[in-house]
Structure 1
């Protein structure tokens, strides 16, 4: 697609869409949102970039193969489920730790966030495999 308006708009929309994707991801394990919605927004941003430029440029921006994203996302989600087994708890039981940070105060991290990260990677990877294969035809 060779639209000057879309190419100009994507320069401003691309970072905003990725930022909103990260916001949805981080908000999701406590409120609506999460890995699935964040992954869809991220893949939508990269798909728009691929439509305005080309698939090769979008692959360079992504820096990693979508298939690698799928595999690493599945592995991350699996590890978040296996971590409680090491402590004698059931599969996918939530575990949390509190981390103190000078700038942000007390941060509450846990395995649900790790699971959401896996879902984020899988959804982004699967969506981009579909989009890239359709745009390359």
Structure 2
């Protein structure tokens, strides 16, 4: 399925899916969504882009190796859990801060940090698996 129409629409569809995955990530724990679901949608976006343009284009579009993305996500998720230990509360307890940025109070939490870590871990791991399965063996 490598038609001109698909190759033309794929970058726009990819961008739309990535934005939707970030929306699902930020929606998080209060409503359905979060890091895992958002990560799967982001991987689907990369899959659409890869089907249209080939795996070389996907590797070029990613700034980092997929396993490095996954490792960084796992690190972020672990940090989110360890922050609670620093404040002498049970492990993985959600902690909140409310910084004021440009006059707007923005709630930030370790829950969001954990979801972001899960998101990056899912994107990195599944993208790495998909790219490994799609590599063409040289004959």
What is the total number of aligned residue pairs between the two structures?
A: 136
Structure 1: tracts of 5 or more residues without a match: none
Flag as ranges the 4+ runs of structure 1 deviating above 4 A.
Answer: none
Q: Which residue of 2 aligns with 1:119?
A: 118
Cα distance in structure 2, aligned partners of 1:94 and 1:26: 16
Q: Which residue of 2 aligns with 1:128?
A: 127
Q: Deviations over 1:56-114 (max 9, x none)?
A: 211111111110011111110000000010111111011000011226x2211000000
| Aligned residues of 1:51 and 1:135 also touching (Cα < 8 A) | no
- Describe how 1:14-53 pairs up with structure 2 within 5 A: 14-53=14-53
Instruction: Give SS of 1:82's match.
Output: helix
CA RMSD, 1 decimal: 1.3
Per the normalisation by structure 2, the TM-score is 0.92
